Chains A and B, each alone.
Chain A
């Protein structure tokens, strides 16, 4: 089975700043991969490269079996939840969902279970600008899962969610994983990754310093908790 994300020697430079320096990684289907690293490690650039928002300078990148080269069709199988949810302010929630469904064409199956689980259905008639930050974040989460994606890219997904909503979100994530979807989950909340992630990618200064199962990292660093294991990697990398 092809890897949902396969990057080989990926490089990206912004002016003088070399943000990705030969990133090579492969995600496994049916697993949640945590993406961690300090600020400016290249996490956002890597995520944006997968989404096609950033164009890498070198290397190769395949997502869901397609080479990322400007053809947008591979994104049909992809769900994305950004750190900051932004929708057209004057459209209602229902119109946002209708727009996204319209773009994928009629007959595209929809999974609206998160909308009802979050209790969002009553809010869908209101313009997005009148929704609270948390409600927008819930809408953003529902959008990410709406088209039953085979690959989920989640950037700090629970940051704006209340504990109840975060619980519902995690249950949904586990459901998609069980269905065989791959998940790339960027988060600074290591306790959350400890709870959710099967694998971990640790980025430092634009390079992958660790990729593998969380259990392997704990064994490698001799730590009990992921937080301390990542701290150990950072210290090691800094030397």
Chain B
């Protein structure tokens, strides 16, 4: 643990100075500011940022995370030649990468909201949900990225797998859910759909945010079922726990692979 926190401290210093992380924060900031200038109030801007957090943020975390682990290979070897355990090194790498990515997200989106706070009311709860979900999705995506980078020796294959994972979660999965809903339309599907939602962190994030933004009515009867389950404190806690499981699961898998890996 002592080693892990020390590695995290230096990792944070290194990655916080990475130009791509800075560019990521600037892009998010410019986008948020542009949405404000296009006449949106705080609530509308949060709604417009929904897909940015659900689509763009996991894509950045997955691809950056995968490439990062490949480029850090020699550095990892050097560190593992020091009196440092593999568990501490893995934890340090993951937290040291996730921290700056999450900070870029919080800063990029948060700063324009703070700047406009005097002029219009800030939907604090919705913004907190948006940023909280974004941070959890970042943490989950970097953990999945590490699993993929450790699974594939070849950088191109690992990067391809990361893009494929994102496509599956962000695009294909919804199609599959729709297919299931269409094929089994004569049967009660609320529970299976709820289960399917928990199996994809992006879907889970989407449902949580839609419910919070009170646009669940657009989702029809299913939305009502989700609202019934996820709208209450228990549902919210279960959904939060599921998102945390989407961090813990890949982290455990990645950590196991890292511990056994030949470098």
Question: Is A80 in contact with chain B by the CB < 8 A criterion?
Answer: yes
Q: Which of A14, A75, A87, A103 has the most CB of B within 10 A?
A: A103
User: A87 contacts which of B78, B82, B259 (Cβ < 8 Å)?
Assistant: B78
Q: Are B75 and A100 in contact (CB under 8 A)?
A: no
Q: Are B14 and A90 in contact (CB under 8 A)?
A: yes
Question: Is B48 in contact with chain A by the CB < 8 A criterion?
Answer: no
- Complex Cα distance A84/B71, Å? 13
Q: Which residues of B contact A102 (CB under 8 A)?
A: 6, 10
Q: Are B83 and A103 in contact (CB under 8 A)?
A: yes
Q: Are B81 and A51 in contact (CB under 8 A)?
A: yes
Residue of A nearest to B19 (CB): A90
Question: Is A99 in contact with chain B by the CB < 8 A criterion?
Answer: yes
- Complex Cα distance A103/B11, Å? 13
8 A Cβ contacts from B30-80 to A = 73-75, 77-78, 80
A79-96 to B contact mask, C-beta < 8 Å, 1/0: 010101111111100010
Which stretch from A30-38, A52-60, A170-178 is at the chain B interface? A52-60
Q: Which residues of B contact A100 (CB under 8 A)?
A: 82
Question: Is B13 in contact with chain A by the CB < 8 A criterion?
Answer: yes
B8-22 to A contact mask, C-beta < 8 Å, 1/0: 001101110110000
Given A86-B74, A88-B75, the answer on whether A75 and B81 have CB atoms closer than 8 Å is yes
Q: Are B14 and A72 in contact (CB under 8 A)?
A: no
Given A88-B11, A103-B3, the answer on whether A53 and B82 have CB atoms closer than 8 Å is no
Residue of B nearest to A99 (CB): B10
DSSP majority for the B interface? helix
- Complex Cα distance A127/B17, Å? 10
Q: Are B262 and A14 in contact (CB under 8 A)?
A: yes
Q: Which residues of A contact B7 (CB under 8 A)?
A: 99, 103
Q: Are A48 and B82 in contact (CB under 8 A)?
A: no
Q: Which residues of B contact A67 (CB under 8 A)?
A: none
- Complex Cα distance A3/B82, Å? 20
- Complex Cα distance A55/B74, Å? 17
Tally of contacts, chain A with chain B, CB under 8 A: 80
Question: Is B84 in contact with chain A by the CB < 8 A criterion?
Answer: yes
Q: Are A91 and B10 in contact (CB under 8 A)?
A: yes
Interface size classification for chain A:
20 to 34
Instruction: Write the nearest CB–CB distance from B19 to chain A, whole angstroms.
Output: 9
Q: Which residues of A contact B82 (CB under 8 A)?
A: 72, 75, 100, 103-104
Instruction: Write the nearest CB–CB distance from B24 to chain A, whole angstroms.
Output: 15
Question: Is B121 in contact with chain A by the CB < 8 A criterion?
Answer: no
Instruction: Write the nearest CB–CB distance from A71 to chain B, whole angstroms.
Output: 8
Instruction: Write the nearest CB–CB distance from B114 to chain A, whole angstroms.
Output: 27
Instruction: Write the nearest CB–CB distance from B29 to chain A, whole angstroms.
Output: 21
Question: Is B185 in contact with chain A by the CB < 8 A criterion?
Answer: no
Residue of B nearest to A86 (CB): B74
Instruction: Write the nearest CB–CB distance from B241 to chain A, whole angstroms.
Output: 32
Q: Are A75 and B83 in contact (CB under 8 A)?
A: yes
8 A Cβ contacts from B114-139 to A = none
Q: Are A48 and B263 in contact (CB under 8 A)?
A: yes
Instruction: Write the nearest CB–CB distance from A111 to chain B, whole angstroms.
Output: 16
Question: Is B232 in contact with chain A by the CB < 8 A criterion?
Answer: no
8 A Cβ contacts from A45-71 to B = 48, 51-55, 70
A–B Cβ pairs within 8 angstroms, 8 of them? A48-B262, A51-B77, A51-B80, A72-B86, A82-B77, A103-B3, A103-B84, A127-B17
Seed contacts A48-B77, A88-B14, A103-B82; 5 additional CB < 8 Å A-B pairs: A70-B259, A82-B81, A88-B75, A99-B7, A103-B83
